[in-house]
Amino acid sequence: MGSGVAKPELAVNQDGATVADALNGFIGHAAEGLAHDVRLDIATAYFNVGGYSLIADSLDKLHSVRLLIGAEPGPPERRARALRSEPVNARRAELRRVGDLLASHEEALAVDRDLLGFTQVADASARRLVEWLRSGRVQVRRLEDRFLHGKAFLVAAHGHGVVSGSSNFTRAGLSTNLELNLGNYTPHTVSAVAEWFDELWETAADYDLAALFEPRFEAHPPQLVYLRMLWERYQADLAAEEDATAPRSTIELTSFQKDGLWRARKLLDEFDGVLI
């Protein structure tokens, strides 16, 4: 199945083997077996800390890494559209769709970051990722004018090889999802994949992936943290209170009286009674 072998031909999450095992063997062999400094090129739609952590030790052995990310095409639109007399600019429509999905893509990256939790392991993994991204050995770009559906882990030096298939650079993609990836070590095929990657890389825009995770480690005063907790807990109540206490009384009330009135009404609605 390609579990840790130097040149895996099949990389799947099945029968005790994982895609991460195969990639660790593939990357480790390239880093230790090739004479010159080795660069790994990665194309993926999605990325998260969990995926990085599975192959982080192998990545640390490399001289450089180019990481290309981008949005995958979503399902086709099925909403009704008004007929137009003027022709539709297909390219403009495609760019608009790419832009919409890139926004969703960035939101998905942020959601994954926010779901990391605050365990020592999660914190250490995120810190290690930021240090790696800021090490000067890693370049990150995002494809912004087209969708990126292809996934590949490529070492082009000396035609070493490419592992390509369905796996995104995520924990699920490298360890649990039902994935299928094939390794190819034929020089002319590796060269063709390298040309494909280079063409996309040249059209992609620099993307500061580390900046997405760095705010996690910013120091905040306890008072600000407490105020934020209060806001998250009571913001819906405050909005409802503002709506409910509008012009329902002819008596001018102070702010604390308005608050008491609203809460009394709320308790009446919930419990059919209130003690004042």
The count of structural domains within the chain is: 2
In a shared domain, residues 110 and 82: yes
- Tell whether the model's pLDDT for residue 143 goes beyond 80: yes
Burial class of residue 186 (count of CB atoms within 10 Å of its CB; 0-12, 13-18, 19+): exposed
Query: Which region among 29-38, 116-125, 142-151, 174-183 has the lowest average model confidence (pLDDT)?
Result: 29-38
Looking at per-residue pLDDT, the higher value among 256 and 98 belongs to 256
In a shared domain, residues 256 and 193: no
Average of per-residue pLDDT across 128-154 = 94
- Tell whether the model's pLDDT for residue 60 goes beyond 90: yes
pLDDT one-digit tens code per residue, 11-24: 999 999 999 999 99
Q: Chain-wide mean pLDDT for the chain?
A: 86
Last residue of a domain, one of 179, 197, 217: 217
pLDDT one-digit tens code per residue, 100-137: 666 777 887 888 888 888 899 999 999 999 999 999 99
Alpha helices in 84-170, H assignment, sequence order: 90-114, 120-133
pTM of the model: 0.76
d(CA 6, CA 21): 10
- Tell whether the model's pLDDT for residue 138 goes beyond 90: yes
pLDDT one-digit tens code per residue, 200-217: 999 999 999 999 999 888
236: containing domain: 222-271
Last residue of a domain, one of 217, 236, 251: 217
Question: pLDDT at position 63, please?
Answer: 93
β-pairing verdict for 138-143 and 64-70? parallel
pLDDT one-digit tens code per residue, 71-83: 766 554 444 455 5
In a shared domain, residues 160 and 264: no
d(CA 260, CA 46): 49
- Tell whether the model's pLDDT for residue 238 goes beyond 90: no
d(CA 262, CA 269): 11
In a domain, 2, yes or no: no
d(CA 1, CA 12): 7
In a shared domain, residues 60 and 132: yes
Looking at per-residue pLDDT, the higher value among 167 and 84 belongs to 167
- Tell whether the model's pLDDT for residue 246 goes beyond 90: no
**Contact (CB, 8 A) for 194 and 41:** yes
In a shared domain, residues 205 and 111: yes
